[in-house]
Structure 1
Protein backbone atom coordinates (compact mmCIF):
# COMPACT_ATOMS: atom_id res chain seq x y z
CA UNK A 1 0.00 0.00 0.00
CA UNK A 2 1.31 3.48 -0.82
CA UNK A 3 2.25 5.60 2.17
CA UNK A 4 -0.21 8.46 2.82
CA UNK A 5 1.21 11.66 4.29
CA UNK A 6 -0.22 15.00 5.40
CA UNK A 7 0.73 18.20 3.60
CA UNK A 8 0.01 21.93 3.48
CA UNK A 9 0.33 24.10 0.38
CA UNK A 10 1.80 27.58 0.91
CA UNK A 11 3.45 30.39 -1.01
CA UNK A 12 5.36 33.64 -0.66
CA UNK A 13 4.59 36.08 -3.51
CA UNK A 14 3.72 33.15 -5.77
CA UNK A 15 6.83 31.11 -4.99
CA UNK A 16 4.96 27.99 -3.84
CA UNK A 17 5.82 25.05 -1.64
CA UNK A 18 4.48 21.78 -0.30
CA UNK A 19 5.07 21.63 3.45
CA UNK A 20 5.41 18.15 4.93
CA UNK A 21 5.21 17.81 8.73
CA UNK A 22 7.83 15.29 9.87
CA UNK A 23 8.84 16.39 13.38
CA UNK A 24 10.65 13.16 14.25
CA UNK A 25 12.51 12.79 10.94
CA UNK A 26 10.81 9.55 9.89
CA UNK A 27 10.06 10.52 6.29
CA UNK A 28 12.69 9.70 3.66
CA UNK A 29 11.84 11.12 0.25
CA UNK A 30 13.62 10.14 -2.93
CA UNK A 31 14.36 12.76 -5.58
CA UNK A 32 11.69 11.16 -7.79
CA UNK A 33 9.07 11.37 -5.04
CA UNK A 34 9.85 15.06 -4.52
CA UNK A 35 9.60 15.66 -8.26
CA UNK A 36 6.19 13.95 -8.46
CA UNK A 37 4.81 15.92 -5.49
CA UNK A 38 5.98 19.15 -7.14
CA UNK A 39 4.67 18.23 -10.60
CA UNK A 40 1.87 20.61 -11.58
CA UNK A 41 0.03 18.01 -13.65
CA UNK A 42 0.56 14.72 -11.82
CA UNK A 43 1.18 15.96 -8.26
CA UNK A 44 0.24 18.79 -5.93
CA UNK A 45 2.37 21.30 -7.80
CA UNK A 46 5.09 23.50 -6.29
CA UNK A 47 8.50 25.07 -6.75
CA UNK A 48 9.85 22.99 -3.89
CA UNK A 49 9.29 20.89 -0.77
CA UNK A 50 9.67 22.16 2.81
CA UNK A 51 10.02 19.26 5.22
CA UNK A 52 9.22 20.44 8.75
CA UNK A 53 11.59 18.47 10.96
CA UNK A 54 13.13 19.01 14.38
CA UNK A 55 16.81 19.90 14.15
CA UNK A 56 17.69 17.08 16.54
CA UNK A 57 16.08 14.57 14.17
CA UNK A 58 18.22 15.32 11.10
CA UNK A 59 21.98 14.92 10.76
CA UNK A 60 22.31 18.32 9.08
CA UNK A 61 20.63 19.96 12.10
CA UNK A 62 23.37 19.39 14.68
CA UNK A 63 24.70 22.96 14.51
CA UNK A 64 21.13 24.28 14.60
CA UNK A 65 20.49 22.42 17.86
CA UNK A 66 23.60 24.00 19.37
CA UNK A 67 22.40 27.44 18.24
CA UNK A 68 18.98 26.94 19.86
CA UNK A 69 16.92 26.33 16.70
CA UNK A 70 14.35 23.62 17.46
CA UNK A 71 13.19 23.36 13.84
CA UNK A 72 15.07 22.69 10.61
CA UNK A 73 13.84 23.65 7.13
CA UNK A 74 14.76 20.73 4.89
CA UNK A 75 14.30 22.42 1.53
CA UNK A 76 14.29 20.45 -1.73
CA UNK A 77 13.98 21.95 -5.21
CA UNK A 78 11.25 20.75 -7.57
CA UNK A 79 13.68 18.29 -9.19
CA UNK A 80 14.47 16.73 -5.81
CA UNK A 81 17.88 18.35 -5.33
CA UNK A 82 18.77 19.81 -1.94
CA UNK A 83 19.17 23.57 -1.60
CA UNK A 84 20.96 25.59 1.04
CA UNK A 85 18.33 28.23 1.66
CA UNK A 86 15.05 29.75 0.44
CA UNK A 87 14.04 33.29 1.40
CA UNK A 88 10.36 32.93 0.52
CA UNK A 89 10.26 29.40 1.89
CA UNK A 90 11.56 30.33 5.32
CA UNK A 91 8.78 32.90 5.76
CA UNK A 92 6.17 30.30 4.78
CA UNK A 93 7.89 27.81 7.09
CA UNK A 94 7.69 30.31 9.98
CA UNK A 95 4.01 31.00 9.24
CA UNK A 96 3.29 27.26 9.29
CA UNK A 97 5.03 26.78 12.65
CA UNK A 98 3.30 29.80 14.19
CA UNK A 99 -0.19 29.03 12.89
CA UNK A 100 0.07 25.37 13.89
CA UNK A 101 1.23 26.14 17.42
CA UNK A 102 4.59 24.44 16.84
CA UNK A 103 6.52 27.61 17.73
CA UNK A 104 6.00 31.21 18.85
CA UNK A 105 7.26 34.22 16.95
CA UNK A 106 5.56 37.23 18.57
CA UNK A 107 7.75 37.81 21.63
CA UNK A 108 11.17 36.76 20.36
CA UNK A 109 12.62 35.99 16.90
CA UNK A 110 12.06 32.43 15.69
CA UNK A 111 15.31 30.60 14.98
CA UNK A 112 15.20 28.13 12.08
CA UNK A 113 17.97 25.80 10.97
CA UNK A 114 18.89 25.63 7.27
CA UNK A 115 21.77 24.24 5.25
CA UNK A 116 23.04 27.83 5.08
CA UNK A 117 23.07 28.14 8.86
CA UNK A 118 20.55 29.29 11.46
CA UNK A 119 18.28 32.16 10.38
CA UNK A 120 15.97 34.30 12.52
CA UNK A 121 12.45 35.31 11.48
CA UNK A 122 10.24 38.03 12.96
CA UNK A 123 6.88 39.51 12.06
CA UNK A 124 6.95 42.69 9.96
CA UNK A 125 4.64 45.17 8.26
CA UNK A 126 4.80 43.08 5.07
CA UNK A 127 4.18 39.84 6.94
CA UNK A 128 7.47 38.25 8.04
CA UNK A 129 11.10 39.32 7.89
CA UNK A 130 14.02 36.88 7.68
CA UNK A 131 17.59 37.81 8.56
CA UNK A 132 19.59 36.13 5.78
CA UNK A 133 22.90 37.01 7.43
CA UNK A 134 26.02 38.31 5.71
CA UNK A 135 26.70 38.08 2.00
CA UNK A 136 29.68 37.78 -0.32
CA UNK A 137 30.33 39.49 -3.66
CA UNK A 138 32.32 37.41 -6.15
CA UNK A 139 34.56 39.74 -8.18
CA UNK A 140 34.99 37.17 -10.98
CA UNK A 141 32.84 38.09 -13.98
CA UNK A 142 30.41 35.52 -15.37
CA UNK A 143 29.08 35.85 -18.91
CA UNK A 144 25.35 35.13 -19.18
CA UNK A 145 23.55 34.06 -22.34
CA UNK A 146 19.75 33.95 -22.30
CA UNK A 147 17.14 33.43 -25.00
CA UNK A 148 15.73 36.81 -25.99
CA UNK A 149 18.62 38.75 -24.47
CA UNK A 150 20.30 39.53 -27.79
CA UNK A 151 23.94 39.65 -26.75
CA UNK A 152 25.62 38.02 -23.72
CA UNK A 153 25.78 40.18 -20.60
CA UNK A 154 28.15 40.20 -17.61
CA UNK A 155 26.74 38.87 -14.36
CA UNK A 156 27.76 39.59 -10.78
CA UNK A 157 28.07 36.73 -8.30
CA UNK A 158 26.30 37.30 -4.97
CA UNK A 159 26.24 34.59 -2.28
CA UNK A 160 23.60 34.98 0.44
CA UNK A 161 23.96 31.43 1.74
CA UNK A 162 23.15 30.11 -1.74
CA UNK A 163 24.72 31.23 -5.04
CA UNK A 164 23.28 33.85 -7.41
CA UNK A 165 24.33 35.55 -10.64
CA UNK A 166 22.71 38.97 -11.17
CA UNK A 167 22.46 40.53 -14.63
CA UNK A 168 21.57 44.19 -15.28
CA UNK A 169 18.92 44.75 -17.98
CA UNK A 170 18.55 48.16 -19.63
CA UNK A 171 14.75 48.52 -19.69
CA UNK A 172 11.43 46.86 -18.90
CA UNK A 173 10.77 45.81 -22.50
CA UNK A 174 14.04 43.87 -22.58
CA UNK A 175 13.16 42.26 -19.27
CA UNK A 176 9.76 41.15 -20.58
CA UNK A 177 11.28 39.79 -23.81
CA UNK A 178 13.39 37.21 -21.97
CA UNK A 179 12.44 33.59 -22.60
CA UNK A 180 13.21 31.82 -19.34
CA UNK A 181 11.61 28.54 -20.34
CA UNK A 182 15.20 27.62 -21.24
CA UNK A 183 17.98 27.75 -18.66
CA UNK A 184 20.38 30.66 -19.29
CA UNK A 185 23.96 29.62 -19.97
CA UNK A 186 26.77 30.73 -17.66
CA UNK A 187 30.42 30.98 -18.62
CA UNK A 188 32.10 29.76 -16.53
CA UNK A 189 29.38 27.64 -15.00
CA UNK A 190 29.64 27.68 -11.16
CA UNK A 191 30.33 24.20 -9.75
CA UNK A 192 27.18 24.28 -7.59
CA UNK A 193 25.11 26.03 -10.23
CA UNK A 194 23.36 29.31 -9.42
CA UNK A 195 20.06 31.10 -9.43
CA UNK A 196 20.10 33.74 -12.18
CA UNK A 197 18.41 37.11 -11.69
CA UNK A 198 17.71 39.71 -14.37
CA UNK A 199 17.06 43.18 -12.97
CA UNK A 200 16.03 46.57 -14.32
CA UNK A 201 16.16 49.76 -12.20
CA UNK A 202 13.09 51.88 -11.61
CA UNK A 203 13.04 55.49 -12.74
CA UNK A 204 14.12 57.12 -10.53
CA UNK A 205 16.26 54.41 -8.94
CA UNK A 206 15.96 55.99 -5.47
CA UNK A 207 12.95 57.80 -4.06
CA UNK A 208 12.86 59.18 -0.50
CA UNK A 209 15.91 57.09 0.43
CA UNK A 210 14.54 53.76 -0.82
CA UNK A 211 15.85 52.01 -3.93
CA UNK A 212 13.51 50.27 -6.34
CA UNK A 213 14.07 47.57 -9.00
CA UNK A 214 12.16 44.95 -11.00
CA UNK A 215 13.35 41.35 -11.36
CA UNK A 216 12.80 38.01 -13.06
CA UNK A 217 14.58 34.84 -11.99
CA UNK A 218 15.55 31.39 -13.19
CA UNK A 219 16.01 29.12 -10.17
CA UNK A 220 18.37 26.17 -10.36
CA UNK A 221 16.53 22.90 -10.08
CA UNK A 222 13.19 24.60 -10.77
CA UNK A 223 13.07 27.01 -13.73
CA UNK A 224 11.49 30.45 -13.83
CA UNK A 225 9.50 31.18 -10.69
CA UNK A 226 7.16 34.04 -9.81
CA UNK A 227 9.51 35.04 -7.01
CA UNK A 228 12.78 34.05 -5.32
CA UNK A 229 13.43 35.48 -1.88
CA UNK A 230 17.19 35.05 -1.75
CA UNK A 231 17.27 36.17 -5.40
CA UNK A 232 15.43 39.37 -4.47
CA UNK A 233 18.03 40.04 -1.78
CA UNK A 234 20.90 39.25 -4.18
CA UNK A 235 19.43 41.55 -6.86
CA UNK A 236 19.12 44.46 -4.43
CA UNK A 237 22.66 43.85 -3.16
CA UNK A 238 24.04 43.74 -6.70
CA UNK A 239 22.38 47.02 -7.73
CA UNK A 240 23.54 48.57 -4.45
CA UNK A 241 27.07 47.36 -5.25
CA UNK A 242 26.95 48.88 -8.74
CA UNK A 243 25.51 52.17 -7.47
CA UNK A 244 28.41 52.77 -5.08
CA UNK A 245 28.75 54.25 -1.61
CA UNK A 246 25.80 56.62 -1.96
CA UNK A 247 23.36 53.74 -2.54
CA UNK A 248 20.59 53.28 0.05
CA UNK A 249 20.27 50.40 2.51
CA UNK A 250 16.53 49.93 1.90
CA UNK A 251 15.01 48.52 -1.30
CA UNK A 252 11.71 47.42 -2.75
CA UNK A 253 11.86 44.69 -5.37
CA UNK A 254 8.98 43.94 -7.74
CA UNK A 255 8.72 40.36 -9.00
CA UNK A 256 5.95 38.78 -11.09
CA UNK A 257 4.34 37.47 -7.87
CA UNK A 258 4.34 40.72 -5.90
CA UNK A 259 6.63 43.08 -3.99
CA UNK A 260 9.25 42.30 -1.36
CA UNK A 261 11.37 44.48 0.91
CA UNK A 262 15.12 44.28 1.44
CA UNK A 263 17.20 46.17 3.98
CA UNK A 264 20.72 46.07 5.36
CA UNK A 265 21.53 46.56 9.03
CA UNK A 266 24.35 45.99 11.48
CA UNK A 267 24.03 42.88 13.64
CA UNK A 268 26.76 42.43 16.24
CA UNK A 269 29.13 44.47 14.09
CA UNK A 270 28.45 42.66 10.79
CA UNK A 271 26.30 43.99 7.97
CA UNK A 272 23.35 41.66 7.36
CA UNK A 273 20.69 41.59 4.64
CA UNK A 274 17.07 41.13 5.69
CA UNK A 275 14.14 40.10 3.49
CA UNK A 276 10.50 40.92 4.25
CA UNK A 277 7.26 39.93 2.58
CA UNK A 278 4.00 37.99 2.89
CA UNK A 279 3.59 34.28 3.58
CA UNK A 280 0.35 32.46 2.85
CA UNK A 281 -0.97 28.99 3.67
CA UNK A 282 -3.48 27.96 1.01
CA UNK A 283 -4.86 24.51 1.92
CA UNK A 284 -4.06 21.22 3.64
CA UNK A 285 -4.73 17.61 2.78
CA UNK A 286 -3.30 14.13 2.42
CA UNK A 287 -1.47 12.58 -0.50
CA UNK A 288 -0.29 9.07 -1.35
CA UNK A 289 3.43 8.90 -2.11
CA UNK A 290 4.30 7.48 -5.51
Structure 2
Protein backbone atom coordinates (compact mmCIF):
# COMPACT_ATOMS: atom_id res chain seq x y z
CA UNK A 1 0.00 0.00 0.00
CA UNK A 2 1.34 3.46 -0.87
CA UNK A 3 2.38 5.81 1.91
CA UNK A 4 0.86 9.30 1.92
CA UNK A 5 2.39 12.20 3.85
CA UNK A 6 -0.04 14.18 6.00
CA UNK A 7 -0.22 16.93 8.59
CA UNK A 8 -2.84 17.18 11.33
CA UNK A 9 -4.23 20.65 12.02
CA UNK A 10 -7.19 22.35 13.66
CA UNK A 11 -8.98 25.65 14.09
CA UNK A 12 -10.63 25.93 17.53
CA UNK A 13 -10.89 22.15 17.71
CA UNK A 14 -12.37 21.70 14.22
CA UNK A 15 -9.68 19.27 13.03
CA UNK A 16 -8.41 18.23 9.62
CA UNK A 17 -6.08 15.82 7.89
CA UNK A 18 -3.99 17.90 5.48
CA UNK A 19 -2.76 16.01 2.43
CA UNK A 20 -0.23 17.62 0.11
CA UNK A 21 -0.94 16.89 -3.57
CA UNK A 22 0.34 19.93 -5.49
CA UNK A 23 0.19 18.28 -8.92
CA UNK A 24 -3.28 16.78 -8.49
CA UNK A 25 -2.12 13.16 -8.74
CA UNK A 26 -4.01 11.76 -5.75
CA UNK A 27 -7.57 10.56 -6.30
CA UNK A 28 -9.05 9.80 -2.88
CA UNK A 29 -12.27 7.80 -2.85
CA UNK A 30 -15.05 8.61 -0.37
CA UNK A 31 -14.18 5.44 1.56
CA UNK A 32 -10.50 6.36 1.76
CA UNK A 33 -11.38 9.80 3.11
CA UNK A 34 -13.73 8.25 5.65
CA UNK A 35 -11.04 5.85 6.89
CA UNK A 36 -8.41 8.59 7.18
CA UNK A 37 -10.88 10.69 9.20
CA UNK A 38 -11.96 7.79 11.42
CA UNK A 39 -10.85 8.48 15.00
CA UNK A 40 -10.35 4.80 15.83
CA UNK A 41 -9.05 3.25 12.61
CA UNK A 42 -7.45 6.28 10.95
CA UNK A 43 -5.80 9.56 11.80
CA UNK A 44 -9.02 11.21 12.89
CA UNK A 45 -10.55 14.48 11.74
CA UNK A 46 -13.70 16.36 10.82
CA UNK A 47 -12.51 16.45 7.23
CA UNK A 48 -9.62 16.40 4.77
CA UNK A 49 -7.86 19.39 3.21
CA UNK A 50 -6.14 18.38 -0.04
CA UNK A 51 -3.54 20.98 -0.99
CA UNK A 52 -3.47 21.16 -4.79
CA UNK A 53 -2.47 23.78 -7.35
CA UNK A 54 -5.54 25.40 -8.85
CA UNK A 55 -4.33 24.78 -12.41
CA UNK A 56 -3.77 21.06 -11.70
CA UNK A 57 -7.46 20.07 -11.37
CA UNK A 58 -10.61 20.87 -13.32
CA UNK A 59 -12.41 22.29 -10.27
CA UNK A 60 -9.66 24.88 -9.88
CA UNK A 61 -9.83 26.31 -13.40
CA UNK A 62 -11.83 29.42 -12.48
CA UNK A 63 -9.66 30.05 -9.43
CA UNK A 64 -6.48 29.73 -11.52
CA UNK A 65 -7.91 32.12 -14.11
CA UNK A 66 -8.50 34.71 -11.38
CA UNK A 67 -4.90 34.42 -10.15
CA UNK A 68 -5.22 31.98 -7.23
CA UNK A 69 -2.29 29.55 -7.16
CA UNK A 70 -3.77 27.06 -4.66
CA UNK A 71 -7.10 25.27 -4.39
CA UNK A 72 -8.55 23.85 -1.16
CA UNK A 73 -10.18 20.52 -1.98
CA UNK A 74 -12.22 20.10 1.19
CA UNK A 75 -13.96 16.80 1.95
CA UNK A 76 -16.19 16.07 4.92
CA UNK A 77 -15.40 13.14 7.21
CA UNK A 78 -17.79 10.89 5.26
CA UNK A 79 -15.96 11.68 2.00
CA UNK A 80 -18.56 14.06 0.59
CA UNK A 81 -17.35 17.23 -1.09
CA UNK A 82 -18.12 20.56 0.57
CA UNK A 83 -18.14 24.07 -0.86
CA UNK A 84 -16.18 25.81 1.90
CA UNK A 85 -14.81 25.52 5.41
CA UNK A 86 -14.07 28.65 7.41
CA UNK A 87 -11.81 26.95 9.95
CA UNK A 88 -10.26 24.75 7.29
CA UNK A 89 -9.19 27.59 5.04
CA UNK A 90 -7.31 29.26 7.90
CA UNK A 91 -5.51 25.98 8.61
CA UNK A 92 -4.87 25.61 4.86
CA UNK A 93 -3.29 29.08 4.75
CA UNK A 94 -1.18 28.33 7.83
CA UNK A 95 0.07 25.14 6.18
CA UNK A 96 1.02 26.94 2.95
CA UNK A 97 2.94 29.53 4.96
CA UNK A 98 4.69 26.93 7.13
CA UNK A 99 5.98 24.88 4.18
CA UNK A 100 7.02 28.01 2.26
CA UNK A 101 4.56 27.66 -0.62
CA UNK A 102 2.90 31.01 0.07
CA UNK A 103 3.28 34.10 2.19
CA UNK A 104 0.78 36.29 3.98
CA UNK A 105 3.32 38.97 4.85
CA UNK A 106 2.76 41.06 1.72
CA UNK A 107 -1.03 41.12 1.77
CA UNK A 108 -4.03 38.82 1.28
CA UNK A 109 -3.51 35.27 0.08
CA UNK A 110 -6.04 34.14 -2.53
CA UNK A 111 -7.22 30.52 -2.21
CA UNK A 112 -9.61 28.74 -4.56
CA UNK A 113 -12.58 26.84 -3.12
CA UNK A 114 -15.78 25.34 -4.51
CA UNK A 115 -17.49 28.51 -3.24
CA UNK A 116 -15.14 30.75 -5.22
CA UNK A 117 -11.85 32.45 -4.42
CA UNK A 118 -11.43 33.55 -0.78
CA UNK A 119 -8.70 35.78 0.63
CA UNK A 120 -6.89 35.15 3.92
CA UNK A 121 -4.83 37.66 5.92
CA UNK A 122 -3.11 37.61 9.29
CA UNK A 123 -5.11 39.04 12.20
CA UNK A 124 -4.91 39.57 15.95
CA UNK A 125 -6.69 36.24 16.49
CA UNK A 126 -4.44 34.41 14.00
CA UNK A 127 -5.91 34.49 10.51
CA UNK A 128 -8.93 36.19 8.95
CA UNK A 129 -10.80 34.98 5.87
CA UNK A 130 -13.13 37.11 3.77
CA UNK A 131 -16.11 34.85 3.09
CA UNK A 132 -17.64 37.44 0.76
CA UNK A 133 -21.31 38.50 0.59
CA UNK A 134 -23.97 36.34 2.20
CA UNK A 135 -27.59 35.51 1.46
CA UNK A 136 -30.52 35.24 3.86
CA UNK A 137 -32.91 32.59 2.60
CA UNK A 138 -36.56 33.73 2.40
CA UNK A 139 -38.17 30.46 3.49
CA UNK A 140 -38.34 29.57 7.17
CA UNK A 141 -37.12 26.07 8.05
CA UNK A 142 -38.52 24.07 10.95
CA UNK A 143 -35.83 22.23 12.89
CA UNK A 144 -36.47 19.21 15.07
CA UNK A 145 -33.58 18.21 17.34
CA UNK A 146 -33.34 15.78 20.22
CA UNK A 147 -33.52 17.59 23.54
CA UNK A 148 -35.51 20.72 22.61
CA UNK A 149 -39.05 19.35 22.40
CA UNK A 150 -41.21 20.97 19.73
CA UNK A 151 -39.70 21.95 16.36
CA UNK A 152 -38.13 25.42 16.28
CA UNK A 153 -37.97 27.92 13.42
CA UNK A 154 -34.60 28.29 11.73
CA UNK A 155 -33.18 30.99 9.47
CA UNK A 156 -31.33 29.91 6.33
CA UNK A 157 -28.03 31.69 5.75
CA UNK A 158 -25.77 31.01 2.77
CA UNK A 159 -22.13 32.04 3.21
CA UNK A 160 -20.82 29.97 0.31
CA UNK A 161 -22.28 26.85 1.90
CA UNK A 162 -25.77 26.36 3.41
CA UNK A 163 -26.68 26.85 7.07
CA UNK A 164 -29.83 26.91 9.18
CA UNK A 165 -29.59 28.86 12.44
CA UNK A 166 -31.91 28.23 15.40
CA UNK A 167 -32.19 30.58 18.41
CA UNK A 168 -32.59 28.96 21.83
CA UNK A 169 -33.79 30.83 24.94
CA UNK A 170 -31.04 29.88 27.39
CA UNK A 171 -27.80 27.99 27.90
CA UNK A 172 -29.53 25.19 29.79
CA UNK A 173 -31.39 24.22 26.63
CA UNK A 174 -28.26 24.61 24.52
CA UNK A 175 -26.31 22.34 26.85
CA UNK A 176 -29.16 19.81 26.88
CA UNK A 177 -29.12 19.27 23.11
CA UNK A 178 -28.31 15.74 21.99
CA UNK A 179 -26.47 16.22 18.70
CA UNK A 180 -25.57 12.57 18.36
CA UNK A 181 -28.86 12.47 16.44
CA UNK A 182 -29.14 14.26 13.09
CA UNK A 183 -31.42 17.34 13.31
CA UNK A 184 -34.41 17.04 10.99
CA UNK A 185 -35.17 19.98 8.68
CA UNK A 186 -38.49 20.77 7.03
CA UNK A 187 -38.32 21.54 4.23
CA UNK A 188 -34.97 19.86 3.72
CA UNK A 189 -32.59 22.13 1.74
CA UNK A 190 -31.64 20.61 -1.64
CA UNK A 191 -28.04 19.95 -0.61
CA UNK A 192 -28.59 19.65 3.13
CA UNK A 193 -27.28 22.20 5.60
CA UNK A 194 -25.17 22.68 8.67
CA UNK A 195 -27.39 23.48 11.66
CA UNK A 196 -26.35 26.01 14.30
CA UNK A 197 -28.03 26.43 17.70
CA UNK A 198 -27.33 29.79 19.32
CA UNK A 199 -27.94 31.59 22.58
CA UNK A 200 -27.38 35.37 22.68
CA UNK A 201 -25.50 36.79 25.64
CA UNK A 202 -27.22 39.05 28.16
CA UNK A 203 -26.73 41.86 27.36
CA UNK A 204 -26.36 41.04 23.69
CA UNK A 205 -23.97 43.92 22.96
CA UNK A 206 -21.09 45.22 25.06
CA UNK A 207 -18.89 48.11 23.86
CA UNK A 208 -20.25 47.77 20.33
CA UNK A 209 -19.55 44.04 20.02
CA UNK A 210 -22.25 41.36 20.03
CA UNK A 211 -21.65 38.05 21.79
CA UNK A 212 -23.33 34.69 21.27
CA UNK A 213 -22.67 31.06 22.20
CA UNK A 214 -23.16 28.26 19.65
CA UNK A 215 -23.19 24.52 19.02
CA UNK A 216 -23.26 23.03 15.54
CA UNK A 217 -24.16 19.86 13.67
CA UNK A 218 -22.17 19.68 10.41
CA UNK A 219 -23.60 17.75 7.49
CA UNK A 220 -21.44 14.78 6.63
CA UNK A 221 -19.64 14.98 9.99
CA UNK A 222 -21.88 15.34 13.08
CA UNK A 223 -21.34 17.67 16.02
CA UNK A 224 -17.97 19.41 15.85
CA UNK A 225 -16.17 21.60 18.37
CA UNK A 226 -16.33 24.49 15.93
CA UNK A 227 -17.54 25.40 12.43
CA UNK A 228 -16.10 28.55 10.90
CA UNK A 229 -18.77 29.25 8.32
CA UNK A 230 -21.36 28.24 10.92
CA UNK A 231 -19.96 30.83 13.32
CA UNK A 232 -20.33 33.47 10.60
CA UNK A 233 -23.86 32.30 9.78
CA UNK A 234 -24.88 32.34 13.45
CA UNK A 235 -23.62 35.91 13.92
CA UNK A 236 -25.38 37.00 10.73
CA UNK A 237 -28.65 35.40 11.82
CA UNK A 238 -28.62 37.05 15.25
CA UNK A 239 -27.69 40.35 13.63
CA UNK A 240 -30.66 39.95 11.27
CA UNK A 241 -33.03 39.18 14.15
CA UNK A 242 -31.70 42.10 16.23
CA UNK A 243 -32.55 44.68 13.58
CA UNK A 244 -30.96 47.82 12.16
CA UNK A 245 -29.21 48.82 15.40
CA UNK A 246 -27.28 45.53 15.62
CA UNK A 247 -23.46 45.79 15.53
CA UNK A 248 -21.17 44.66 12.73
CA UNK A 249 -18.64 43.07 15.10
CA UNK A 250 -19.33 39.80 16.94
CA UNK A 251 -17.63 37.36 19.26
CA UNK A 252 -18.81 33.77 19.00
CA UNK A 253 -18.05 31.15 21.65
CA UNK A 254 -17.98 27.53 20.52
CA UNK A 255 -16.93 24.43 22.48
CA UNK A 256 -13.46 24.66 20.92
CA UNK A 257 -12.76 28.33 21.64
CA UNK A 258 -13.63 31.84 20.50
CA UNK A 259 -13.87 33.30 17.00
CA UNK A 260 -14.45 36.80 15.68
CA UNK A 261 -16.88 37.91 12.98
CA UNK A 262 -17.22 41.29 11.34
CA UNK A 263 -19.29 42.63 8.45
CA UNK A 264 -17.45 45.57 6.79
CA UNK A 265 -18.32 47.31 3.57
CA UNK A 266 -16.07 46.11 0.76
CA UNK A 267 -16.63 48.37 -2.21
CA UNK A 268 -20.38 48.81 -2.43
CA UNK A 269 -21.41 45.57 -0.72
CA UNK A 270 -21.10 44.16 2.77
CA UNK A 271 -18.93 41.09 3.33
CA UNK A 272 -18.63 38.76 6.32
CA UNK A 273 -15.14 38.05 7.65
CA UNK A 274 -14.15 35.31 10.09
CA UNK A 275 -11.05 35.42 12.30
CA UNK A 276 -9.48 32.89 14.61
CA UNK A 277 -6.46 30.67 15.28
CA UNK A 278 -5.04 27.94 13.06
CA UNK A 279 -2.80 25.26 14.58
CA UNK A 280 -0.63 22.55 13.01
CA UNK A 281 -0.26 19.65 15.44
CA UNK A 282 1.97 16.97 13.89
CA UNK A 283 3.03 15.36 10.61
CA UNK A 284 3.56 11.79 9.53
CA UNK A 285 2.88 9.15 6.88
CA UNK A 286 -0.08 6.82 6.56
CA UNK A 287 -0.67 3.72 4.44
CA UNK A 288 -3.45 4.41 1.96
CA UNK A 289 -5.62 1.35 1.47
- Please classify the TM superposition score into its range, dividing by the shorter chain length: over 0.9
The CA distance in 2 between the partners of 1:150 and 1:188, in whole Å, is 18
Aligned to 2:34: 35
2:165 counterpart SS class: strand
1:133 counterpart SS class: coil
Aligned to 1:61: 60
Whether 1:87 and 2:93 are equivalent positions in the alignment is no
Whether 1:105 and 2:126 are equivalent positions in the alignment is no
1:240-251 aligned at under 5 Å gives the runs 240-251=239-250
Aligned to 2:150: 151
2:40 counterpart SS class: coil
2:26 counterpart SS class: coil
Aligned to 2:49: 50
Aligned to 2:128: 129
The CA distance in 2 between the partners of 1:75 and 1:266, in whole Å, is 28
Aligned to 1:179: 178
- Stretches of 4+ aligned residues off by more than 3 angstroms: none
2:128 counterpart SS class: strand
Whether 1:5 and 2:4 are equivalent positions in the alignment is yes
Gaps of 5+ in 1: none
1:92 counterpart SS class: helix
Aligned to 1:18: 17
The CA distance in 2 between the partners of 1:36 and 1:19, in whole Å, is 14
Map Cα deviations across residues 173-230 of structure 1 (whole Å, 9 max, x no partner): 0000000001000001111000000000001100000000000000000000000000
RMSD: 0.4
Map Cα deviations across residues 49-76 of structure 1 (whole Å, 9 max, x no partner): 0000000001010110111110000000
Select between 59-68 and 279-288 the one with higher mean Cα deviation.
Answer: 59-68
Aligned to 2:215: 216
The CA distance in 2 between the partners of 1:69 and 1:82, in whole Å, is 20
The CA distance in 1 between the partners of 2:266 and 2:36, in whole Å, is 38
Map Cα deviations across residues 145-198 of structure 1 (whole Å, 9 max, x no partner): 000011110000000000000000000000000000010000011110000000
The CA distance in 1 between the partners of 2:155 and 2:13, in whole Å, is 25
Count of residues paired in the alignment:
289
TM-score (norm 1): 0.99
The CA distance in 1 between the partners of 2:261 and 2:235, in whole Å, is 7
The CA distance in 2 between the partners of 1:270 and 1:34, in whole Å, is 37
The CA distance in 2 between the partners of 1:34 and 1:140, in whole Å, is 34
The CA distance in 2 between the partners of 1:241 and 1:66, in whole Å, is 35
Cα drift, residue 108 of structure 1: 1.3
Aligned to 1:283: 282
The CA distance in 2 between the partners of 1:82 and 1:117, in whole Å, is 14
